[in-house]
Homo-oligomer: A and B are copies of this chain.
Amino acid sequence: MKVGIINVTGYAGMELVRLLANHPEAKLVSVTGRSEAGKKLGQFLPTFIDVPLTITPDLEGSPDVVFSALPHKASAEACAPLVNKGVRVIDISADFRLKDPAEYPRWYDFNHPSPQLLKESVYGLTEIHRNEVAGARLVANPGCYPTGAILALAPAVKEGIISGDIIVDSKSGVSGAGRSLSMSTHFSEVNENVFAYSIDGHRHLPEITQELHDVNPKLKLNLTFLTHLIPMTRGIFSSCYAPIIDGKLPSGAAGKKKVQEIYRAYYKDMPFVAVTHVPPQTKQTLGNNMCLVYPTIDERTNRLMVFSCIDNLVKGAAGQAIQNMNLMFKLPEDMGLKAIAVYP
Contact = CB atoms under 8 A, between A and B. Distances in A.
Chain B CB within 10 A, most for which of A14, A189, A344: A344
A131 to B, nearest CB: 25
A235 interface: yes
Contacts of A274: 46, 49
Given A232-B231, A284-B46, A340-B48, A187 B174 contact: yes
A18 interface: yes
Contacts of A341: 18, 47
Given A185-B186, A228-B171, A241-B167, A192 B235 contact: yes
Given A224-B298, A231-B231, A239-B226, A22 B191 contact: no
A254 interface: no
A192 B232 CA distance: 5
A36 to B, nearest CB: 12
Nearest to A169: B169
Given A193-B232, A237-B194, A14 B187 contact: no
Contact of A279 (B199, B283, B343): B199
A231 B182 CA distance: 18
Size category of the A interface is 35 or more
B340 A191 contact: no
Given A167-B167, A185-B186, A196 B234 contact: no
Given A46-B292, A231-B231, A276-B46, A181 B186 contact: yes
A339 B239 contact: no
Contacts of A243: 165
Given A185-B187, A187-B190, A344-B175, A47 B284 contact: yes
A196 B307 CA distance: 8
A286 interface: yes
Nearest to A50: B340
Interface string A265-286: 0000000001010111111101
B281 A195 contact: yes
B169 A224 contact: no
Contacts of A283: 189, 192-193
A310 to B, nearest CB: 12
Interface of A: 11, 14, 17-18, 21-22, 45-51, 165, 167, 169, 171, 173-175, 179, 181-183, 185-197, 199-201, 205, 222-224, 226, 228, 230-235, 237, 239, 241, 243, 274, 276, 278-284, 286-287, 292, 296, 298-301, 303, 305, 307, 309, 338-344
9 closest Cβ contacts across the A-B interface? A193-B283, A195-B281, A181-B181, A188-B344, A169-B169, A174-B187, A175-B188, A47-B341, A287-B342
Given A49-B274, A185-B187, 5 more contacts: A46-B274, A167-B241, A189-B344, A193-B281, A195-B237
